[in-house]
Structure 1
Amino acid sequence: MTRMSPMGIVLAFCGFSALAQTPAEVTLTRLDCGNGVTSSDIAFFSDTNAYDGKKQELVVSCYLIKHGDDYLIWDTGYPAAVAGATATGPTAKFNLVEQLARVNVKPEQIKFVGVSHYHGDHIGQAGSFPQATLLIGKGDWDALTSTPPPPGANPAPVKHWISGGGKFEAVPRDKDIFGDGTVRMLDMPGHTPGHHSLLVRLKEKGNVLLTGDLAHFRENYDSNGVPVFNTNRADTLASLDRFKQMAKNLNATVIVQHDPRDIEKLPALPGSAK
């Protein structure tokens, strides 16, 4: 019998491990979850009066991440009831289920619904994917299930999971969603207690960081602006510092999800970044 040397055993084991942990192919697609609207006064996006009387166009964007044969929806926009409607606020031209149909993805194929935080323009259509596991920051989950919920926290869109009808995970810190480092929820509290951003590692485009509502437009991101409605100023600034350090170290493309200038960095449906 041929014996393998200790070094050979190590090399063989390392080769096996590398093979076993080969990341799946990942793609990232931008979805339309709210048409652009120009806010006539964005003063409330700064607690230092940086934007008094200024205007800013904002959009609502959601994202489809394909990981091998599995799918993750990141943020779910406004409720489907307002999708396509004419209203004073931003609305989506098509709801998420209709958009996914364009790339032959059915609601039951969505394995995870990840939400950056509990505000209505980010969890509105979560209920369209009842078979999915809901991933939400623990601080936000605690707020949604408290009696009564705090201002701005509407539990109705995720009542399916609150009532025990579906699987969920209240994420306390960072989470490696698929276990291979390609898609990570990042603990970035401050906007809400359990706010998270998302890192997606793509083979061709490289690293992409989705802000959630860590910042709402480029100028606020660049200046470390803190909206008056954030739940914790110190946490917001700490999260911005961590996020920017990660963006620098990973040479990442930063997508400020509400800024129409930023979301154009990613292809819209049916295209995808790889």
Structure 2
Amino acid sequence: MASVFAQPATPPGDTKEQIVQVYALQAGHLTLPERFFVNPASDTARKTVPSLAFLIQHHNTETNETTRILLDLGLRRNVERYPEPIQRHIDTRQPLTTDPDVTKSLAAGGLTPDDIDYVIYSHVHWDHVGEPRDFQRSRFVVGNGALALLSGSSSSLRGSHSFFESDLLPQDRTIELRNPYERDSPEPQSEPVKKPAPGKVDFDRAWTSYGHLPRVLDIFGDLSVLIVDAPGHLPGHINILARTGPTTNVYLAGDACHDRRIMRKERAIGEWHDAEGHICCIHGDKKMAEQTIDRIRELEVNGVEVIFAHDVEWEENERNKGRFFGSS
């Protein structure tokens, strides 16, 4: 089925659509107790899932420049480098493996961390942040609200998975996206504001709507890579919609959903009671998470390929084995 987002991706007069290459990267595996993620589920059901990262390559044919972006870094190869609270949480996620990590997966295709221009985090949970210190020349991009989480100044979240590192990111190389819910206040301009040329990455472009997605950021200005506001899971949670062909698009959905049975409406989002009797959910705002899942489901119905960060069904599909970076 052709995608509803198959309209021309370049300004009038251009003859070529701008597309990007998207590769999956192995970045570790962890084991999830199902009752924390889906309902109904037995107390003993567990599933080992990947923590996928993705390489996006955008080639500007006019300037002959290639921009390389990673979405997420997966698991840290040395789990002893996580803070003690996360290490205790990791004990509940065994078996867990970190080989290959994202740097080893890049090497399988002939790249190093120095080849990566930007690392975009879908969100800052421990199983997605990897080892940022490997990426000494990359700039880091996080959704609005993520820096407050890292600094500990955001509202508290329940669950042992919600522990954040204040020193995770280099301040001088980190970009936090603008609030997608605040409109720019128009100010009188003495001169017209010069807009960045299509094909040049700019994370300060305006948030706009696209199809039935209410808030997207067209970072190259050519509709090839859209950052999508994906609320519900964690403050600053973002996804990416990438155009991979004239009529094909891939939606990288992060932790918007942890189990495809929820997408198929075979299960609901799980909830549980903590030691104090509070109702907990893997999503910070369950209702908003359900709305985000509904929008993603509509994308999939209309022919967009959807891949979640812990998408074990996608990983185990034989057709996808050759879509990992460096695979033969």
TM-score by length of 2: 0.67
Preserved CA contact (<8 Å) 1:30 1:61: yes
Match of 1:80 among 45, 55, 77: 77
Task: Describe the superposition over 1:19-49 as per-residue Cα deviations: whole angstroms up to 9, x where unpaired.
Answer: 6xx5545211111111364x4x411114xx4
- Residue 210 (structure 2) pairs with residue 158 (structure 1): no
- Judged with a 3 Å threshold, the aligned counterparts in structure 2 of structure 1 residues 179 and 80 are, in CA distance, closer, same or farther, namely farther
- Residue 23 (structure 2) pairs with residue 29 (structure 1): yes
Unaligned runs of 5+ in 2: 1-10, 60-65, 81-90, 181-215, 271-280
Q: How far apart in 1 are the matches of 2:132 and 2:217?
A: 19
Partner of 1:7: none
**Secondary structure at the counterpart of residue 146 of structure 2:** helix
Partner of 1:4: none
Unaligned runs of 5+ in 1: 1-12
- Judged with a 3 Å threshold, the aligned counterparts in structure 2 of structure 1 residues 63 and 23 are, in CA distance, closer, same or farther, namely same
Moved more, 111-120 or 255-264: 255-264
**Secondary structure at the counterpart of residue 216 of structure 1:** coil
**Secondary structure at the counterpart of residue 54 of structure 2:** strand
- Residue 114 (structure 2) pairs with residue 112 (structure 1): no
- Give 1:212 shift: 0.4
Partner of 1:170: 177
Preserved CA contact (<8 Å) 1:189 1:236: yes
Which one-letter code corresponds to 2:46 in the other structure?
K
Q: How far apart in 1 are the matches of 2:243 and 2:167?
A: 29
Q: How far apart in 1 are the matches of 2:290 and 2:155?
A: 25
Which one-letter code corresponds to 2:77 in the other structure?
A
- Residue 35 (structure 2) pairs with residue 43 (structure 1): yes
Cα RMSD between the aligned structures?
A: 2.7
- Give 1:165 shift: 2.9
- Judged with a 3 Å threshold, the aligned counterparts in structure 2 of structure 1 residues 148 and 180 are, in CA distance, closer, same or farther, namely closer
Q: Matches of residues 178-197 of structure 1 in structure 2 within 5 Å? A: 178-197=220-239
- Judged with a 3 Å threshold, the aligned counterparts in structure 2 of structure 1 residues 204 and 51 are, in CA distance, closer, same or farther, namely farther
Q: How far apart in 2 are the matches of 1:23 and 1:146?
A: 43
Partner of 2:47: 56
Q: How far apart in 2 are the matches of 1:97 and 1:55?
A: 28
Q: How far apart in 1 are the matches of 2:218 and 2:72?
A: 17
Partner of 1:5: none
Preserved CA contact (<8 Å) 2:19 2:243: no
**Secondary structure at the counterpart of residue 97 of structure 1:** helix
**Secondary structure at the counterpart of residue 71 of structure 1:** strand
Q: Matches of residues 1-274 of structure 1 in structure 2 within 5 Å? A: 14-15=12-13, 18=14, 22-35=16-29, 37=31, 39=32, 41-46=33-38, 49-53=39-43, 54-68=45-59, 69-82=66-79, 88-147=94-153, 150-151=156-157, 152-156=162-166, 158-160=168-170, 164-173=171-180, 174-203=216-245, 206-223=248-265, 225-227=268-270, 228-249=281-302, 251-263=303-315, 264=317, 266=320, 267-271=323-327
- Give 1:211 shift: 1.5
- Give 1:156 shift: 4.9
Q: How far apart in 2 are the matches of 1:127 and 1:50?
A: 40
Task: Describe the superposition over 1:219-272 as per-residue Cα deviations: whole angstroms up to 9, x where unpaired.
Answer: 1222273342211112111111222223334x1111122122213454122149
Q: Which has the higher contact order (CA 8 A, sep 6+)?
A: 2
Preserved CA contact (<8 Å) 1:176 1:183: yes
Preserved CA contact (<8 Å) 1:34 1:90: yes
State the 4+ residue runs in structure 1 displaced beyond 6 angstroms: none
TM-score by length of 1: 0.78
Structure with higher helix content: 1
- Give 1:158 shift: 2.6
Task: Describe the superposition over 1:130-158 as per-residue Cα deviations: whole angstroms up to 9, x where unpaired.
Answer: 32222211122322223478451412573
Preserved CA contact (<8 Å) 2:232 2:288: yes
Alignment length (residue pairs): 245
